[in-house]
Amino acid sequence: MSGSIAGKVAIIGAGITKFGELFEQSYNDLVVEAAFEAYEDAGVSGDDVEAAWLGTYLPLGWGFDGTGGPSLAEALNLYPKPVSRVANYCTTGMEAVRMAAMAVASGMHDVVLAVGAEKMREVPPRGSLVAQHVEKLHPMYSKGRTAPGSFAVLARRYFEEFGADKEDLAEVAVKNHYHGSLNNRAHFRKEITKEQVLKAPPVTEPLGLYDCCPTTDGAAAVVLCRADLAESRFDKKDYVLIDGMGLSCATGYITTAFNPKFSFIGFEATQEAARQAYEQAGVTNPREEIDVAEVHDCFTITEILNYEDLGFVEKGEGPDFVKSGASRLGGELPVNTSGGLKSCGHPIGATGARVVADLTHQLLGRCGERQVKGAKRALGHTLGGPGAVSSVFVLSRN
């Protein structure tokens, strides 16, 4: 590792819109709402922002032509400042934050904005991302390599390797819906039972309806600055520091399952991104040193694999970790206190930024009923590709 971001960048403001089916709000409405909430939290205005990054994965796929840096500049009146759009599959929102943080750490800018946004509910099923993949990309998509299909293969392989079953997956769904019921920004604010999960309509064996995250509209934003300016310029007594960041592209998007190193019981990208972030942050025992985590749970099996890849438990121990209550609010290491992608929702470009914003609120003690008491250090994780790319952040309260 050639360098570390630890101690160089502060998060001084965070904003998150309501997630859900937001037909009454435009793409720009969501961006503006998230950004101005972050501005207000930070005590800044657009005049203070020197540069901005927009994370949005596939706006053309949802019917939003030409969404890029100029779109964000227009929505927030950031002319003539440098504004860029980034996309990196489901790590897109976190990638926007990572790029913004590196710009501050490098000394290029003092105050920056990162926004993640996506509107996914405007397109009917015939025009969905799945349909476009089948029509325009690799022929294997027409044979069932949808996102649920890809992760169902991992679940089946995990079951065979470790003796897990659908009831183990249901534990994740029940937990995250409980957490989501406490989050007023979540797409789904309802608890569910294990019986409901197990009796739900099948999507792709062994995954059922409640094993899958929804497609969602939403946006999130964070304001970052040089750590030494958080108090001296913006009079912040409490703020969040970025202790470590990691990003890994371990394989190609289409070729994930054809990579001879791909184990089907874990993600090399997550393991490598975590290694980078932990090294920068000085984390040697994540289960003991992390107080709260937001991890990628696009499907219930994904959260179980992430427990293991992030070093919370050894391989094969993920089901016992969730069944023990360790990852539930009040447990040893609460995971996805927002409800995760499963309940909060997954507007692809927004998710990573939402993770960082949500953990900022956790570390500053703002989460009400779902607050992890005394949380001082947090981990944020996203995964995309599926499994091709992963991003990991370690954050702490100053």
Q: Is the pLDDT of residue 256 over 70?
A: no
Q: Is the pLDDT of residue 142 over 80?
A: no
User: Is pTM, for the whole model, over 0.85?
Assistant: yes
Q: Is the pLDDT of residue 143 over 80?
A: no
9-124+216-232 sits in which CATH class? alpha beta
Report the pLDDT value the prediction gives residue 168, as an integer from 0 to 100: 99
Give the residue from 195, 269, 299, 281 showing the smallest Cα distance to 244: 281
| HSE, side-chain direction, 13 A CA sphere, residue 120 | 25
Report the pLDDT value the prediction gives residue 127, as an integer from 0 to 100: 57
Q: Among all residues, which ones are annotated catalytic? A: 90, 346
Average pLDDT over residues 254-267: 78
Q: Count other C-beta atoms under 10 Å from residue 94's C-beta.
A: 32
Average pLDDT over residues 322-335: 99
For residue 66, CA distances in Å to 55, 63, 189, 245 come to 14, 10, 33, 30
- Mean of per-residue pLDDT scores for the chain: 93
Report the pLDDT value the prediction gives residue 2, as an integer from 0 to 100: 62
Higher-confidence residue: 123 or 225?
225
Report the pLDDT value the prediction gives residue 84, as an integer from 0 to 100: 96
For residue 4, CA distances in Å to 7, 140, 238 come to 9, 41, 22
Report the pLDDT value the prediction gives residue 251, as an integer from 0 to 100: 81
Report the pLDDT value the prediction gives residue 272, as an integer from 0 to 100: 98
Report the pLDDT value the prediction gives residue 309, as an integer from 0 to 100: 99
What is the spatial distance between Cα 119 and Cα 72, in angstroms, rounded to a whole number? Answer: 15
Report the pLDDT value the prediction gives residue 343, as an integer from 0 to 100: 99
What is the spatial distance between Cα 222 and Cα 68, in angstroms, rounded to a whole number? Answer: 18
Q: Is the pLDDT of residue 259 over 80?
A: no
Q: Count other C-beta atoms under 10 Å from residue 200's C-beta.
A: 17
Q: Is the pLDDT of residue 290 over 90?
A: yes
End-to-end CA distance of the chain: 24
Report the pLDDT value the prediction gives residue 30, as an integer from 0 to 100: 97
Span(s) in the chain for CATH 3.40.47.10: 9-124+216-232, 144-212+240-397
Q: Is the pLDDT of residue 293 over 90?
A: yes
What is the spatial distance between Cα 199 and Cα 24, in angstroms, rounded to a whole number? Answer: 33
What is the spatial distance between Cα 71 and Cα 56, in angstroms, rounded to a whole number? Answer: 11
Higher-confidence residue: 169 or 128?
169
What is the spatial distance between Cα 81 and Cα 64, in angstroms, rounded to a whole number? Answer: 23
Torsion sign over Cα 300, 305, 311, 312:
positive
| Helical ranges in the chain per DSSP H | 27-42, 69-76, 92-105, 129-136, 147-162, 166-181, 194-199, 229-232, 268-281, 286-289, 300-309, 318-323, 340-343, 348-363
Report the pLDDT value the prediction gives residue 324, as an integer from 0 to 100: 98
The CATH T-level fold of domain 144-212+240-397 is Peroxisomal Thiolase; Chain A, domain 1 (3.40.47)
Report the pLDDT value the prediction gives residue 341, as an integer from 0 to 100: 99
Q: Is the pLDDT of residue 59 over 70?
A: no
pLDDT tens profile 65-102: 557 899 999 999 999 999 999 999 999 999 999 999 99
Query: Tell me, what amino acid is at 212?
Result: C
Report the pLDDT value the prediction gives residue 255, as an integer from 0 to 100: 63
Torsion sign over Cα 252, 258, 59, 213:
negative
* φ/ψ of residue 12, rounded to 5: -110, -5
Question: Which residue pairs, CB below 8 angstroms and at least 24 apart, start in 138-143?
Answer: 138/254, 140/254
Report the pLDDT value the prediction gives residue 172, as an integer from 0 to 100: 99
* pLDDT band (50, 70, 90) for residue 64: low
Residue 318 and residue 335 in contact, taking contact as beta carbons nearer than 8 Å: no
What is the spatial distance between Cα 78 and Cα 72, in angstroms, rounded to a whole number? Answer: 8
Q: Is the pLDDT of residue 115 over 80?
A: yes
Strands 83-86, 51-55: pairing kind: parallel
Q: Of 49-53, 66-70, 254-258, 292-296, where does mean pLDDT reach its minimum?
A: 254-258
* pLDDT band (50, 70, 90) for residue 3: confident
Give the residue from 379, 383, 382, 370 showing the smallest Cα distance to 189: 370
Report the pLDDT value the prediction gives residue 123, as an integer from 0 to 100: 73
Average pLDDT over residues 337-342: 99
Cα Dmax for the chain: 58
Report the pLDDT value the prediction gives residue 121, as an integer from 0 to 100: 87
DSSP 257-306: GG-TT--SSS-HHHHHHHHHHHHHHT-S-HHHH-SEEE---SBHHHHHHH
Report the pLDDT value the prediction gives residue 1, as an integer from 0 to 100: 52
- Which DSSP letter does residue 19 get? P
Token reading at 173: 């769904």
Nearest-10 Cα torsion for 95, 87, 347, 392: -30
Token reading at 138: 């690799």
What is the b/e burial string over 41-68, where b = at least 16 CB atoms within 10 angstroms of the residue's CB? bbebeeebbbbbbbbbbbbebbebeebe
Q: Is the pLDDT of residue 360 over 80?
A: yes
